[in-house]
Chain A
Amino acid sequence: DSGVTQTPKHLITATGQRVTLRCSPRSGDLSVYWYQQSLDQGLQFLIQYYNGEERAKGNILERFSAQQFPDLHSELNLSSLELGDSALYFCASSPRPQGTAKNIQYFGAGTRLSVL
Chain B
Amino acid sequence: AQKITQTQPGMFVQEKEAVTLDCTYDTSDPSYGLFWYKQPSSGEMIFLIYQGSYDQQNATEGRYSLNFQKARKSANLVISASQLGDSAMYFCAMREEGSYIPTFGRGTSLIVHP
Contact = CB atoms under 8 A, between A and B. Distances in A.
A98 interface: yes
Contacts of A99: 95, 97-98
Given A42-B106, A100-B33, A107 B96 contact: no
A56 B100 contact: yes
A104 B44 CA distance: 16
Contact of A110 (B35, B45, B50, B97): B45
B53 interface: yes
Contact of B52 (A100, A106, A108, A110): A100
B101 interface: yes
Interface residues of A, number: 27
B68 to A, nearest CB: 14
Interface in A84-116: 88, 90, 92, 97-110, 112
A24 interface: no
B52 A104 contact: no
A18 interface: no
Contacts of B98: 98-99
Among B32, B37, B44: residue with most chain A CB under 10 A: B44
B97 A100 contact: yes
A42 B104 contact: yes
A86 B86 CA distance: 27
B44 A100 contact: no
Contacts of A43: 91, 104
A100 B96 contact: yes
Contacts of B53: 100
Interface string B4-42: 000000000000000000000000000111010100001
B50 A104 contact: yes
B46 interface: yes
A41 B96 CA distance: 22
Given A100-B52, A103-B33, A45 B101 contact: yes
Interface in A50-64: 55-56, 58
